[in-house]
Chains A and B, each alone.
Chain A
Amino acid sequence: DAGVTQSPTHLIKTRGQHVTLRCSPISGHKSVSWYQQVLGQGPQFIFQYYEKEERGRGNFPDRFSARQFPNYSSELNVNALLLGDSALYLCASSRTGDSNQPQHFGDGTRLSIL
């Protein structure tokens, strides 16, 4: 089975633009989470979605939004990009909201803001 897949792998944007990042969970996984990892730091939790509903939100501004589709894939949207949004964005999926199986991470999307 394929792991968690994220697209694109790399992206370059300029300040003020909008970006959409995509994540496909492992088959059978219904929970998707998003994390932001700034260079040299640990990942920070942004959102968790389960069965198309938001289950958790980290301390990020309203410029960040996400959604989950009926096939459990997910999009992370960031508006009005700032230089500080440059980071590796990681997606993780798990079987259910509190499954006994730990979540699996994708390889991430590296976003650079010029």
Chain B
Amino acid sequence: EDKVVQSPLSLVVHEGDTVTLNCSYEVTNFRSLLWYKQEKKAPTFLFMLTSSGIEKKSGRLSSILDKKELFSILNITATQTGDSAVYLCAVGSTSGAGSYQLTFGKGTKLSVIP
């Protein structure tokens, strides 16, 4: 069974800190790894990674994938209270039925305090 493990499960930091969120996975037929931010509603897309070693960046957020070691990290620099959310890691793979399927981790709950 495909598995995605995120760590830590929760994290409390002060504004201005830098945080690193971890995601490791074991899946067959890997196709992509995605990061989402979930506040009290819809998960919103952050990054999709398919190639090892290529950093994707968006403002203060960045992410990189290591397909050899089967993990990804999400970095957030100069955190702000608006970064408080649950960050979800998902791995896209080809299912037994032959279709694309996302397997999610349980998420990392980030709390940024002023």
Please determine whether chains A and B interact with each other in the same assembly: no
